[in-house]
Amino acid sequence: MKNKKMAPIGVFDSGVGGLTVAREISRQLPYENIVYFGDTARVPYGSKSQNTIIRFSEQIIRFLRTKQVKAIVIACNTASALALDAVKDEFDLPIIGVVIPGARAAVEATTNGKVGVVGTEATVQSGMYTKVIQGMNPEIEVIEKACPLFVPLVEEGFKEHIVTREIIEYYLESMRNTDIDAMILGCTHYPLLRSKIREYMGDKIQIVNPAYETAMDLKRLLEEEEMANDETTEHHSEYSFYVSDAAEKFRKFANTVMPFDVPTTNVVNIEEY
């Protein structure tokens, strides 16, 4: 059991966005070890079919299992929506995604029953947040809005640039003119624009960050399964990062997101798994 508690958590995403989830896990569960995989060779997932997303997810989980992970977090909205059920049936370890925790937090946050969701084209076209939210409470009205340029703005380091404020206004003006009182950041890149989005949308709206909610779900899960790492003394958490391509670019971006230095990123031939 002690070895199980010391085992790492596997976190994966189609690329770099899932680092916001890894960051929240490192904040909320500071004694846990993390193995992160970013599928940088095959990003984006949004334009791929469900069968392809499931196959990619299966390969990544098989790779993460070679690192003896005790649980897996799918830190990708598209894979959470399209592959979570399939891989949970296939693998005998706890696997959670980012959609359900985010949806549940929004259902709890709204007082007037009107929720906004911003995400990638694929996430919005799938309507997955609407389905999950209305599955929890059919009375809630959901307004989804695709904001495709948010991802490249974040990845190119334009968070503080004036063009980012203009693009936020361009995408969210219509949503600001509705009476939603909660909004989900339905893409793992978007928490990096949270302060700018909040500034534009105003204080009346609760901004839901699924990365934070997922970390809290993971915490509850590990405690319930008695797998939480309680080696609180003299234990320095270990984090390792793997990608399928472009390791140096990933490492540089990771250093702008994670609260510690990421010295190395390793390339894996994921097709072998």
Q: What residues are labeled active site?
A: 76, 187
SS3 state at 122: helix
Alpha-carbon distances, residue 122 vs 81, 193, 251 (angstroms)? 10, 19, 26
Question: Closest Cα partner for 164 from 148, 175, 143, 149?
Answer: 149
Q: What is the dihedral of CA 169, 171, 173, 178, to 10 degrees?
A: -150
Give the pairing of strands 206-208 and 239-243: unpaired
Q: How far is CA 157 from CA 36, 96, 264, in A?
A: 21, 29, 20
Distance (Å, whole) CA 200 – CA 169: 7
Rounded CA-CA distance 168/133 in Å is: 24
The whole-angstrom separation of Cα 149 and Cα 132 is: 25
Sheet-wide strand order for 182-185:
141-146, 114-119, 182-185, 206-208
Cα 181 to Cα 216: distance, rounded to the nearest angstrom:
22
Residue 254 DSSP SS3: helix
